[in-house]
Structures are given as structure tokens and as C-alpha cells.
């Protein structure tokens, strides 16, 4: 099968898009600061953000999600860069 330049460009663009989509990461909640809408998580690598495992403070996309976990809970979460801030966009207790 022969692919034209536009087909290859489209395939490369699709691969780039998929590689930057937030993927669930494992972590342990260290602290929740509801007043500042922030959560501190010790987490594994965040491949979509190019970050290694570390402990860091995230902004919560929705303050209501801060009620879904407490310090010490193991969680699965997704984070992305939103308006220049690394933000938790989804979180749930790990099973």
C-alpha cells in the first residue's frame, strides 16, 4: 500500500494527539487544601506531562473532587496542564 504525504502527516498528528491525552496515574494523597482548591499527591510518572514520579501540589479542576479523597488514600487520577497550571481533572479512590 502506498501512502501520500497527507496521509502520513495525518497519522503523525493523530499519534501526537494520543500521546498527550491524560492517562490515569497512581498516587497517594498527602494533603488537601480545600480553601485553596489544591491537593498534594505523591504520584508515579505522569507521561502525558513528561513528569517523573514525585510529590507535588495540584490545582483541582472542580473543588467537589477534593471531597472524594483524604490524606493517606490511594488514588487513581488524571492531570493536565490547564491555563498554565497542572490540574487534577479526574480522581477516584484506587480499588
Cell of 94: 484506587
Which residues fall within 8 angstroms of residue 82, CB to CB, at 6 or more apart? Answer: 59, 61, 89
Domains in the chain (CATH in brackets) are: 23-93 (2.40.50.320)
The pLDDT tens digits of the residues spanning 35-77 come to: 999 999 999 999 999 999 999 999 999 999 999 999 999 999 9
The pLDDT tens digits of the residues spanning 9-34 come to: 554 444 444 444 567 899 999 999 99
Amino acid at each position: 500500500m502506498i501512502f501520500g504525504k497527507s496521509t502520513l502527516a495525518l497519522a503523525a498528528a493523530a499519534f501526537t494527539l494520543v500521546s498527550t491525552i491524560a492517562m490515569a496515574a497512581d498516587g497517594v494523597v498527602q494533603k488537601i487544601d480545600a480553601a485553596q482548591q489544591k491537593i498534594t499527591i505523591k504520584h508515579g510518572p505522569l507521561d502525558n506531562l513528561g513528569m517523573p514520579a514525585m510529590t507535588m501540589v495540584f490545582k483541582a479542576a472542580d473543588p467537589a473532587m477534593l471531597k472524594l479523597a483524604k490524606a493517606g488514600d490511594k488514588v487513581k487520577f488524571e492531570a493536565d496542564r490547564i491555563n498554565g497550571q497542572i490540574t487534577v481533572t479526574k480522581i477516584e479512590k484506587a480499588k
